[in-house]
Chains A and B, each alone.
Chain A
């Protein structure tokens, strides 16, 4: 199977061509203002380098920051209505209550509270009221709104009300996009509802972006299916991505970590992805990034969908080197993508981390004579400083005393020298385009997050049930049966609840089924 992985980052668009598990070619092209020109450039370049024609390619996987950026920059967001099924509960806080004002103004602050919702144990708060929902639909129609998010209290325990309400609203508003919160987030009403509203307000944009990707791929002559990568390192096909654009948030760091695992063949490690400005550090467990446990803010809004637990430090190939001796600093300021013109080795006048490494003989890059004048003591001090910063972030990311290896990827990897924190260092082939590789090898997942009463069914039965549900969800998402693995199991007892109520989360992943 020939596949292409593309990672659209802020600075570069990376692309790789893979034949099975072999990387045939990998390239970087600048990300363009309109995104698509950069994607087409990268595609053409990588196909030429691999010497393969586009019609021989089976699938294309794309990782993109397009939707995150739309929210962060408050552009191309649709007017959206939120309908929460809850009454009489939760009336004390309306939807979007914790949003930044500018973002809320952008999508209109249209919300409705209606009857429905469940208690923690599945009991019903109140019955759904169809007439009430039809009245809300009339109001939404009158306002000309075409994006609707539906949330319900404890919908992760029972999503029946959200489904029913979604159907009623869809019949009344046939040309509206409807997003159900249980399809996106976990327990935590405001955060899950926030994610659903953000998804809904991105639906017009996602339709356009998917169409543009489709067009870009057709332009180079590709005729197969294409997928987008999600923030958990797995895939969604284009039609699904159009419905759930919000699931692409934070897919970039995930792709680089997955790519690092694949290229190195190591499943448990610390991954350091070094770019021009920052190093993203995370922990790889069974080939997947460890997930963050707390609510994550996107564009100033708290959400609770799965995100990789990755943190960034201001250290990259373009980091400014300032001061001397013990006082030398590296970063957080950086020349970023202007490294190609501003670093000393490229004829510029700014001393960067890359210059130090080249002067020290650590890499052969640019014009070495331009850094020949650098003081040996400064070079040593700067390299020690870089080593200390890397060591500190790797220490922070470690989850056990086990001596896990460190995999270093990304274009800025040359700044690493020797071991980090005494741990074995792996710099795999194609390290500079690891994120595009991560996109190319992405798998398909299914996840459940439910509360079980262990007094009634017992822990092992509850876990078995959750695993079966997660597996079924993965198959429904396109995973091939027989390749599915349970990669994450977590059970947390809930305080003060009877019947040993326990929240169980299980995630299953499998290989993409390509016919």
Chain B
């Protein structure tokens, strides 16, 4: 029974997967469009990749995690040579002396949903159905794997020119983030990162499960709703158990860069059930907090998702602009991201809101 849930990724899965990943990107994570095209090209050339459930491999199998690191805007102009993540993964195998049996996503939200699939196709490995965030977050250490004690070394970063830098000894995940970030900028702000091999029993305990299929399901729902001319926002809510927290129109966007991050706030004038109310969303690459009439109603690590009110298109924070009409929905993050250890890394305090007390969302009813 265990292995029955293994399924091969098809070309027809790519569009729904990218839509679902963009939605789980909660405004950030970069656009999966380029990655989707790359996957399609490899599949058309005959490559294959299977998605495996977390219980499909033995405890002592070694699992790799790869992803792109850099600036999203660079990724749409200077996209990959193609084997950056593969070179980084090989370097980690060489440094650790361990061969990977499968790969897993660092973050299912946004562009990095596609990277392990690409590397797995090139290496002939399967990809596990899960990830280290259940959403998107801006920094390397913000995965469940690191929060629950994955080794920070050896890790490796590779660029498009054949340069590979191995981090053989780093003190912890924060140092890895700092070194990897600076190295990626030196490499042209687009590089592939592979972290130290993780044992399967550890991954099974710490990964956010079934997020690949979740992204697929969300994307299929969006496409189906569009094809049937149904309300996409309603259908997404019905499928995911998310809650609609606000609808309205953006009246102002304030942006600034702070410590390398695009931070800012979007101000929304309520419409529909929220006519007369004011919404405000704090942004740091991703959406961090939603306030309605001055009261915080959703905050990290729970997912704050902005959808275009008409098309249901997930809106990334860079495309938010004056006059846009949107629906803000909230989805509870996996429990793995809500423990005291996780809160220190991804809670509102970690993002600079010392006064916010995290009040977790609950899942609404899910219907077909």
Contacts of A187 in B (CB 8 A): 73, 76-77
B38 interface residue per 8 A CB criterion: yes
Chain A residues, Cβ within 8 Å of B169: none
Q: Which of B37, B74, B310, B323 contacts A283 (CB 8 A)?
A: B323
Are the CB atoms of A93 and B74 closer together than 8 Å? no
Query: CB-CB < 8 A to A188: which residues of B?
Result: 76-77
Given contacts A97-B37, A398-B323, whether A495 and B262 have CB atoms under 8 Å apart is yes
| Pair A503/B73 contact, Cβ less than 8 Å | yes
| Residues of A276-332 whose CB lies within 8 A of B | 283, 293-294
Determine if A89 is an interface residue (Cβ-Cβ < 8 Å).
Answer: yes
Measured in the bound complex, the distance between the Cα atoms of B282 and A347 in whole Å is 60
Does any Cβ of A come within 8 Å of B162's Cβ? yes
A125-B188, A401-B251 known; A495-B37 Cβ under 8 A = no
Which of A90, A188, A294, A398 has the most chain B CB atoms closer than 10 A to its own CB? A90
- Collect the chain A residues with CB atoms within 8 Å of residue B251's CB: 400-401
0/1 string, B13-38, CB within 8 A of A gives 1: 00000000000000000000010011
**By the criterion CB–CB under 8 Å, are B323 and A400 in contact?**
yes
User: Which bucket holds chain B's interface residue count?
Assistant: 35 or more
- Which B residues are CB-close (under 8 A) to A123? 188
Report Cα–Cα, A444/B251, bound state, in Å: 31
Interface: B367 (CB within 8 A):
no
A88 lies within 8 A of B160 (CB): yes
Interface assignment of B71: CB less than 8 Å from any CB of chain A: yes
- Does B161 lie within 8 Å of A88, measured CB to CB? yes
Contacting residues, chain B, for A153 (C-beta < 8 A): 77-78
Is B241 engaged at the interface, CB distance under 8 Å to the other chain?
A: no
A92-B41, A283-B323, A496-B189 in contact; A120/B257 too (CB < 8 A)? no
Contacting B at CB under 8 A, from A147-181, are 153-154
Asked whether any CB of chain B lies closer than 8 Å to the CB of A498, the reply is yes
Known interface pairs A399-B323, A401-B269, A493-B257; A91-B71 also in contact (CB < 8 Å): no
Q: Mark B64-106, 1 if CB is under 8 A from A, else 0.
A: 0000001111101111111000000000000000000000000
Considering the chains assembled together, what is the distance between the CA atoms of A90 and B262 in angstroms? Answer: 25
Considering the complex, give the chain B residue whose CB is closest to the CB of A186: B77
Complex: how many Å from CA A498 to CA B161? 21
**27 A-B pairs whose Cβ atoms sit less than 8 Å apart in the complex:** A88-B81, A89-B79, A89-B81, A89-B161, A90-B78, A91-B82, A92-B41, A92-B80, A93-B37, A93-B38, A98-B37, A117-B78, A119-B188, A120-B77, A120-B78, A123-B188, A187-B76, A189-B76, A401-B251, A492-B255, A493-B256, A494-B71, A495-B260, A495-B285, A496-B185, A496-B260, A497-B189
Hey, which chain B residues are within 8 Å of A494, CB to CB?
71, 73, 257, 262
Is residue B235 within 8 Å, beta carbon to beta carbon, of the partner chain?
no
| A502 proximal to B (CB < 8 A) | yes
Q: Which residues 110-146 of B sit at the A interface, judged by CB distance below 8 A?
A: 138
* Contact residues of A between 386 and 430, Cβ < 8 Å to B: 396-401
Q: Flag whether A500 is at the interface (Cβ < 8 A).
A: yes
* From A401, A493, A496, residue with most partner B Cβ within 10 Å: A496
Stretch at the interface among B55-63, B314-322, B331-339: B314-322
**B261 interfacial by beta-carbon distance below 8 Å:** yes
Interchain CB contact under 8 A, A120 and B71:
yes
Interface, chain A (partner B; CB < 8 A): 86, 88-94, 97-98, 117, 119-120, 123, 125-126, 153-154, 187-190, 283, 293-294, 396-401, 492-498, 500, 502-503
Report chain B residues within 8 Å CB of A120. Answer: 71, 73-74, 77-78, 188-189
B interface residue numbers (CB < 8 A to A): 34, 37-38, 41, 70-74, 76-82, 138, 160-162, 181, 184-185, 188-189, 249, 251, 255-257, 260-262, 269, 285, 310, 318-319, 321-323, 325
Residues of B within 8 A of A398 (CB): 249, 323
Q: How far is the CA of A178 from the CA of B59 in the complex (A)?
A: 59
Q: Do the beta carbons of A90 and B71 come within 8 Å of each other?
A: no
A194 to B237, CA, bound (A): 36
CA distance A412 to B318 in the complex (A): 37
Chain B residue at minimum C-beta to C-beta distance from A117? B78
Known: A98-B37, A400-B323. A189 touches B73 (CB 8 A): no
A72 to chain B, nearest CB (A): 22
Q: Are B78 and A189 in contact (CB under 8 A)?
A: yes
User: With A493-B262, A494-B71 in contact, do A502 and B257 touch (Cβ < 8 Å)?
Assistant: yes
Q: How far is the CB of B140 from chain A (nearest CB, A)?
A: 12
CA distance A492 to B319 in the complex (A): 11
Instruction: Add 8 more A-B contacts to A120-B74, A190-B79, A495-B138 (CB < 8 A).
Output: A88-B161, A90-B78, A120-B77, A125-B78, A187-B77, A400-B251, A495-B261, A496-B189
Q: Are A294 and B319 in contact (CB under 8 A)?
A: yes
Q: How far is the CB of B272 from chain A (nearest CB, A)?
A: 12
List B contacts of A91 (CB < 8 A).
Answer: 81-82
Q: Which residues of A lie under 8 Å from residue B318 when comparing CB positions?
A: 492
Residue pair B79, A119 in contact (C-beta under 8 Å): no
How close is A234's CB to chain B, nearest CB, in angstroms?
Answer: 23
Using Cβ atoms and an 8 Å threshold, which residues of chain A touch B262? 493-495
Instruction: Tell me how far the C-beta of B163 lies from the nearest C-beta in chain A, rounded to whole angstroms.
Output: 11
- Beta-carbon contact of B77 and A189 below 8 Å: yes
Please indicate the chain B residues that have their CB under 8 angstroms from the CB of A294 in the complex: 319
Given contacts A119-B188, A154-B77, A293-B321, contact A495 B82 (CB under 8 A): no
Which residues of chain A are within 8 angstroms of B79 by Cβ–Cβ distance?
89-90, 92-93, 189-190
Q: Are B41 and A97 in contact (CB under 8 A)?
A: yes
